[in-house]
Structure 1
């Protein structure tokens, strides 16, 4: 193959990649343009550039306040952001924490009902969230957990556990049993081999599962909108929906809120991806 042909192929490959990146970023540029634009109307333009650039939309979204019965003002958006982060992180920790030993048992041990149990867990993923909204509302109302973070965590964690078990079971099955046997030959117990050998090797899968559980809870809207009616208990998806009314739509505020809401997910992904890379070579044995 001639150098000129190599150069042409390299240029063509880079051009395709650049087109794919531009295609992916173009909608994001529209959101950024709306968020920092001083106008509230959508204007058709090839290159989305903020009209009358301003930070007023960001200030209006982030600086929202609520007044208590004593007349004191409090930072409403900060409380709503805290609601989303607490609920999502707790859901991910509980879901993955319960799923890890469960998935390991399904992957390594033989017991009665093993296959049927996995099928039952998989069947729970076939029902949409809206189908369980009314029963969950009645249960939480009976337990007096409406408009609480605890109620949302219970709902979200109950749906994240089956998905996490299904994901992690495949990861544990892909890890050679020889690694655990080698550790036990050196004197480790089954539990020590699980902690010191299996978990480090499975770290990428655990990190991905944690990220998916967090994002699912962080972006969930239907249950949150059904179970919450106090703006102080709102999560961020419900907050964003309030900018789009029946007779009026504040797309500028919606875009500004969407950018702010996406920042925690971006930061979490940056942290998790380092653990994914670090876990690829961990837990192995020297040969």
Structure 2
């Protein structure tokens, strides 16, 4: 059905309004990061600041603990992403290709684990890490983030594996490849978009997590960047310029990672929607 010119204008206008609505907080964050402290505390909503400064970024960079917390965040985030991808691929392939007793029940458990609120698992995770002697150690966060991201990874990659024709594996096995060789040479390369899509979700989930990092890590030198951001608020007040600049710096690794994989992410999200 063809839309009239008035309908197209109305839809485009609505799209622009929604885009501006969701983009405005990010724009305000960026502009506030470059504003002088005096301009941040005024009641005026200056959408186009007249004065700019890099003092907030210098303050955030020189604040104690930035590089250490950045290193901790990268260790637990990258580690959790890699573990979830390896385990997710190894679990998704048999769930998509093989038929065995208990398969549907296992898939149901994966779906339930994916739907469970992260906060509901806090006390069991805390007691588990306490009994294992991993509290106040980075491996505890890595294992928690791995457990949080794994159900989504398994469920999503299973859909991608189902979208790959089984005839391609059969052709490879006819040519002399074994089951594992066919998986490695045929299925795994075609899973690229799915691996990218799930890795972005896992990265953002682990990178932004705050509650577990705050409670599990008692020593400040073992905490992650989200916890470090909370140190800009003290009993003497909040350093708004510093926290805005620190938030921009905090978002850069996730933004860079997203820009590197955005092309495969779009194709992966589209393909993953076809199978589930």
State the TM bucket, normalised to the shorter chain: 0.7 to 0.9
Return 5+ residue gaps in structure 2 as ranges: 270-276
What does residue 95 of structure 2 align with? 106
- What is the alpha-carbon distance in structure 2 between the residues aligned to residue 37 and residue 218 of structure 1? 27
User: How does 1:32-71 map onto structure 2 within 5 Å?
Assistant: 32-39=30-37, 41-45=40-44, 47-50=46-49, 52-65=51-64
TM-score by length of 2: 0.85
What does residue 189 of structure 1 align with? 178
CA RMSD of aligned residues (A): 2.7
User: Greater CA deviation, 267-276 or 204-213?
Assistant: 267-276
1:43 deviates by 3.9
- The change in CA–CA distance for 1:35 and 1:140 in structure 2 (over 3 A counts) is same
User: Per residue, is there more helix in 1 or in 2?
Assistant: 2
Return 5+ residue gaps in structure 1 as ranges: 1-5, 66-75, 281-287
- The change in CA–CA distance for 1:184 and 1:277 in structure 2 (over 3 A counts) is farther
Q: Contact 1:171–1:205 (CA<8 Å) still a contact in 2?
A: yes
Aligned length, in residue pairs: 266
Q: Contact 1:200–1:279 (CA<8 Å) still a contact in 2?
A: no
Q: Contact 1:61–1:257 (CA<8 Å) still a contact in 2?
A: yes
Q: Contact 1:221–1:237 (CA<8 Å) still a contact in 2?
A: yes
What does residue 26 of structure 1 align with? 24
What does residue 94 of structure 1 align with? 83
What does residue 285 of structure 1 align with? none
User: How does 1:118-129 map onto structure 2 within 5 Å?
Assistant: 118-129=107-118
1:14-56 CA-partner distances (Å, limit 9, x unpaired)? 7666555444432222111211111264445555234642212
What does residue 273 of structure 2 align with? none
- What is the alpha-carbon distance in structure 1 between the residues aligned to residue 205 and residue 26 of structure 2? 21
- The change in CA–CA distance for 1:231 and 1:77 in structure 2 (over 3 A counts) is same
What does residue 72 of structure 1 align with? none
- What is the alpha-carbon distance in structure 2 between the residues aligned to residue 91 and residue 24 of structure 1? 29
